[in-house]
Amino acid sequence: MNDNQRPSLDPWLPLQERAACCEPRPLVRARGLTLRYGPTLAFDDVTLDVHAGCITALVGPSGCGKTSFLSCINRLTDLIPGARVSGELRLADLDLLDPRLDVIALRRRVGMVFQKPNPFPLSIRRNLDLPLREHGMRSRTRRADATERALRNVGLWDEVKDRLESPALALSGGQQQRLCIARALVLEPEILLMDEPCSALDPLAGGVVEDLIAGLRGRVTVLIVTHNLAQARRISDWAALFWKQEEAGRLVEHGAVRQIFETPTQELTAAYVRGRRG
Ligand SMILES: Nc1ncnc2c1ncn2[C@@H]1O[C@H](COP(=O)(O)OP(=O)(O)OP(=O)(O)O)[C@@H](O)[C@H]1O
Ligand SMILES: [Mg+2]
C-alpha cells in the first residue's frame, strides 16, 4: 500500500457523538501553568484538563504557546536554557514539575511526534527496536512482536514487512511520519503529543496520517497541535484555543469540539473558527 490508499481503521465518529463518547476523565491536569523563556512569557496561567482516551486539539495563531505547552508535558523544557515553568502540572498521579522526576521513565509514558518526520538514520526495524531495547525489553521475540504490532497500528506493516532492513530515510514522507508515530506507540505511551504532524506532508499523505490519528481514539490519549481547523473539527473530541494577549499566550476557551465550533462562548473563539481572526 502507498500513501494514496488509506488504511482501514476505526470508523469516524460523527461530531455530535464525540467528546460525549468518552467520559471526561483528566489524564493531564494543568493548573495555573505558566512558562517563561527568560524574560519572554510563552504562556500564562493555563488551567486545562486533557481527557484520557480522547483526542484533544490545541489550536490558535502562531506564537500563542501551543508547542511550549506540549514541551512542559514531556519536560523538553529541561533542554531549553532559561525556561522556567510554574503552577501545577500532573500526568495521572505524577507531578510533572517535580525536579526529581525520572525524565527517561516519563518519556516512555509520553510519546512525541514532530511536524517534520524525524526517523533515525537506521533501518526501519532498528527505528522501533532501539527504543524497545533502551527501555529494557531484552527478548528479541518480544521486540519483534512489538515492532509488528506498532507497524500494523499505523497501517505500515504490509508496506514494509519485506524490507525491514532498508533505511527508514528511503521511505516516502508520509511513510516516515507513520514510522515516527509507530516509534512513539511502540513503547505504549499513555499520551501521544503531536505538533502539527500532517503539515509537512502533501495532502494525500497528510490525509493518511490524519486517518491514523483518528483511529487512535480510545486506545491512547492524543494531544495534537494543528493549524488546520477543518482537521481539528474532523478528528478531535475536545478543542482548546490559545491566543496571545498582553504579550503572553492564554487559554481562551476549552470544550467539546462541537461546542467550540458550533456554540463557542467567547467572541474570539467564534471569530477564529469562522476564519475572521488569526
Ligand atoms: N526556545 C525558546 N526560547 C525563547 N523563546 C521561545 C522559545 N520557544 C518559543 N519561544 C517564544 O514563546 C512564545 C510561544 O512560542 P510557541 O513556539 O510555543 O508558539 P506556537 O503557538 O507553537 O507557535 P507556532 O504556531 O508558530 O508553532 C513565542 O513568543 C516564542 O517566540
Ligand atoms: Mg508551534
Give residue 42 CA to ligand 1 midpoint distance, Å: 6
Are 198 and 206 in contact, with CB atoms under 8 Å apart?
yes
Give residue 230 CA to ligand 1 midpoint distance, Å: 23
In this prediction the pTM is 0.93
Q: What integer pLDDT is reported at residue 93 of this predicted model?
A: 92
Q: What integer pLDDT is reported at residue 24 of this predicted model?
A: 85
Please state which CATH number belongs to domain 17-273. Answer: 3.40.50.300
Question: Residue 9 is which amino acid?
Answer: L
Q: What integer pLDDT is reported at residue 278 of this predicted model?
A: 77
Q: What integer pLDDT is reported at residue 277 of this predicted model?
A: 83
In the structure grid, which three cell numbers stand for residue 186, read together?
A: 511502540
Please name every residue paired with 29 in a beta bridge, in sequence order, or none if there are none: 49, 90
Q: What integer pLDDT is reported at residue 10 of this predicted model?
A: 40
User: Which residues approach ligand 1 with their CB closer than 6 A?
Assistant: 37, 40, 42, 62-68, 80, 249
Give residue 249 CA to ligand 1 midpoint distance, Å: 9
CA Rg value for the chain = 19
Segments of the chain with pLDDT less than 50: 1-11
Q: Whose CA is nearest to atom 4 of ligand 1?
A: 37
Are 112 and 70 in contact, with CB atoms under 8 Å apart?
yes
Ligand of minimum distance to the alpha carbon of 64:
1
- Which residues, chain by chain, have CB under 5 Å from ion ligand 2? 67
Dump pLDDT digits (tens) for 188-225: 999 999 999 999 999 999 999 999 999 999 899 999 99
Give residue 63 CA to ligand 1 midpoint distance, Å: 5
Boundaries of every domain in the chain: 17-273
